[in-house]
Chains A and B, each alone.
Chain A
């Protein structure tokens, strides 16, 4: 029987715990194009405006407090401690659309509510994002052939992420939020204004 030989070169050494600010930054891996001049006293970072801005934007999305139907009950569940949307920096549901940059269209958009929803969206400052939650806000859902319900909120405002469900579970809701964060992460600077299309 052959003796077991251990190739010591393949054993990974334990990762060194980051101590300095530079090491901590590199450890996050968030800003991938960090180049630091280690020989200098100070810390020089090279990054792109895209990455810095997008990182700042996706880390603190503030939704506007608006619920239209039963999906809004699920929104409360998402905000509570069990699912805890505060993990994404979104715990502040702003009471004024002027302080918000994300809108959950949570519920049925009736014809009579549609101009109000549109006005809320137009009152939000750029850059802003919209998540259509539930089948009602996405397509009209069970009320698709109704006389009084809009067939999808994307008829009146642009929608970034659609979350299906009736209403969607909080897990699905958080998955939609993560998808929006991925989308923002890959946006170009000024994409919302149509500068670099």
Chain B
């Protein structure tokens, strides 16, 4: 009896040891960089300081007025572009402008002129310029007679991916959600030609920098006529 009990216990103890081996045995072999004196390296330190500074940096409209002079050249005074191919920036979300310019810098969005312009602006200046434009009176459309087909498309989720209609993300009349979500930009009152071009670019896969490619999927099945109606409705708001 004792003999059996003893051997079972031994076998079990051996099992336990074998199982524990992986958990405990290699604790002293964890690969790691030697950290001099237990302090963080200077590279980590300066990286850390810069990242925190940029993260917490709020742009100012006063500084932004100076920094955005170059942008005004195309995007118009106060961001009210008068060229229908060039988007208005007045009242656009600062974080949205930031993301687009950074995407141009990285190449995840591309445009002959914007890709080059984006390369010339520093992060600090960009943060100020974006704040400047976002503080302007929001872009306004020319208020054409209400475009019924366009409005219907804007409100109607049947044509779109999942159960989302334009209004769900871009807000009533495309003026953005309340409280705002910068990922979903202001579009109401934007230039008609520009809206049309972006919808086409999304549909045809030429522009692919929307979060999770949502805009590509939403526009996938839009016809040219539907895009035209939408652009007319949205630009008139």
- A and B: partners? no
A residues contacting B by CB (< 8 A) are: none
B-side residues, CB < 8 A to A, are: none
